[in-house]
Structure 1
Amino acid sequence: MMDGKTERPLVRVEQVSKEYAMGGEVLKALNGVSLTVGYGEFVAIIGPSGSGKSTLMNILGCLDTPTSGKYWLEGEEVSRLPENRLAEIRNRKIGFIFQNFNLLPKLTALENVELPLIYRGMKGAERRERAMEALRKVGLADRTRHRPAELSGGQQQRVAIARALAGSPPVLLGDEPTGALDSKTSGEVMELMLELNREGHTIILITHNMDVADQAKRIVRIADGVLDEGGGAACISPRD
């Protein structure tokens, strides 16, 4: 566990529901979801399209707020915070890893990794040192001056992971992080994620791919906006 924080969970979601009004009807994307994730865990949340996993990811990532229920991150209830506080939490406490990398094409790998640290107001020398260390950790110390178009898909995702790591957030949140990669590159990225978890990083992975989910230490299924961690969604620990 990171920093010996065992007294409380890192993530605690309690009876969270999310509703959207569509064409005069109410769509319930999440229905009474409860979830706890401890420090140092590697959890995969798996479900098909339309299952509610993207909505859950948006709430876990403080990109959206629930219609009802509560969400605590590091002991702070973030369910009802205003947007400016949510933006600060996203920048400091959550490292996002997206399916399509979300790198800025005109910036180098180093500059892309530095970007969230700029928003945090970090000074230049410390910012570059943090970004360089993150790129070294993902094996791209020799690609710092390359722009995204000069990198392979796997290298771009490693830059995205380095960007997520640079601010030392409590949790890494991956949204289909291997979805745009071939099977070989996907395996390499997952091996990197496993290594980061072995180093103590907490990872929550959203996926529809069972091969990817199987590599996590715990699997939670979602269908029709409801989580199921019993029966077929039991904990799986293939790489303890």
Structure 2
Amino acid sequence: MMNSPAEQPLVVIEKLIKTYKMGGETLYALNDISLQIRRGEFLCIIGPSGSGKSTLMNMLGCLDYPSAGSYRLDGEEISKLGDNKLAHIRNSKIGFIFQSFNLLPKLTARQNVELPLVYRGVSSGKRKEMALAALDKVGLKDRSGHRPSELSGGQQQRVAIARALAGDPPILLADEPTGALDTKTGAEVMELIKALNKAGHTIILITHDPAVAKQAGRIITLQDGRIAEQGA
């Protein structure tokens, strides 16, 4: 009997390989990665520098193609899509949260949050409504008219999270989201991320910090491009 769409994993990766040629040698950034991620899961990917975390994040975020293997996102085979279709998938299925916030300095918080919706062709009035709703989720609706320079680091990361949330994508992909924050602010951001997960958002978080990783529901440890360990 086939699973219903709600029961099917959101992400299915099978025997994924990513290689690079360097000086006539083939280097394996990812080697035989198989992984499933359920809807509503909070998964953390951890590993030392050079373990393949960034490469796997690029694959999950549809920013790069695998050399071999399969990646299905929400039932769609990603590795066979062209660049335009891949860009559409990125914009509609994945909300990105970066370590360095990546906010545009001349835009207000609301305008920064609206950006993914502009690329989707959402009308001006609807964009504003959706952006304010996303800022409200992260507790910053009252700062919607402030520019990044008028916000603290923690507030900027909250704006970045609101931007990721704005179009209600199935996945929030967070790359070292607390890396540029002090300990207290980082803890507040992690509380927000956990609250979003409890509200039903699927979270994939990349980190090198064990204290951040242990807050996830499941941890995958990468070593030399392979999954070395996984568990709660």
Query: Which category describes the TM-score, using the shorter chain as reference length?
Result: over 0.9
Q: How far apart are the structure 1 equivalents of 2:215 and 2:24?
A: 42
Q: Which amino acid aligns with 1:174?
A: A
**Aligned-partner Cα distance in 2 for 1:225–1:204:** 18
Offset at 1:67? 0.1
Moved over 4 A (4+): none
Structure 1 residue 41 and structure 2 residue 41: aligned?
yes
Query: What is residue 199 of structure 1 aligned with on the other side?
Result: 199
> Which one-letter code corresponds to 2:62 in the other structure?
C
Contact 1:29 1:52 in 2 (8 A): yes
CA distance in 2, matches of 1:156, 1:7: 35
- Find the counterpart in structure 1 of residue 152 from structure 2: 152
**How far 1:5 moved relative to its partner?**
4.5
* 1:1-240 matches, cutoff 5 A: 5-229=5-229, 233-235=230-232
| SS in structure 1 of the partner of residue 216 of structure 2 | coil
Number of equivalenced pairs: 229
Structure 2 Cα separation of the partners of residues 102 and 69 of structure 1 = 31
Identity rate, percent: 66
Q: CA deviation at 1:57?
A: 0.2
Please report how far the alpha carbon of residue 22 of structure 1 lies from its aligned counterpart in structure 2 after TM superposition: 1.5
Query: Structure 2 CA distance, aligned partners of 1:19 and 1:234?
Result: 27
Say which SS state the counterpart of residue 79 (structure 1) adopts.
Answer: helix
RMSD: 1.0
Task: Give per-residue Cα distances to partners, 1:55-92, cap 9 Å, x unaligned.
Answer: 00000000001000000000110112111111000000
Give the superposition deviation at 1:25: 1.6
| Alignment-mate amino acid for residue 10 of structure 2 | L
Q: Secondary structure at the match of 1:178?
A: coil
Structure 1 residues not aligned, in runs of 5+: 236-240
Partners of 1:107 and 1:21 in 2: how far apart? 40
SS at match of 1:168: coil
Q: What SS class does the counterpart of residue 80 from structure 2 fall into?
A: coil
Q: Which runs of 5+ in 2 are unaligned?
A: none
CA distance in 2, matches of 1:74, 1:60: 12
Work out the CA distance in 1 between the residues paired with 2:22 and 2:90: 28
Q: What is the CA–CA distance in structure 2 between the aligned matches of 1:176 and 1:124, rounded to whole Å?
A: 32
Take 2:135 and 2:47, find their aligned partners in 1: how far apart are those partners? 31
- Equivalents in 2 of 1:60, 1:213: separation in Å? 18
**Whole-Å Cα distance in 1 between the matches of residues 167 and 227 of structure 2?**
30
Give, in angstroms, the shift of residue 23 of structure 1: 2.1
User: C-alpha displacement at 1:132, in angstroms?
Assistant: 0.1
Query: 2: CA distance between counterparts of 1:91 and 1:33?
Result: 25
- 1:5 touches 1:39 (CA, 8 Å); kept in 2? no
> TM-score when scaled to structure 1?
0.94
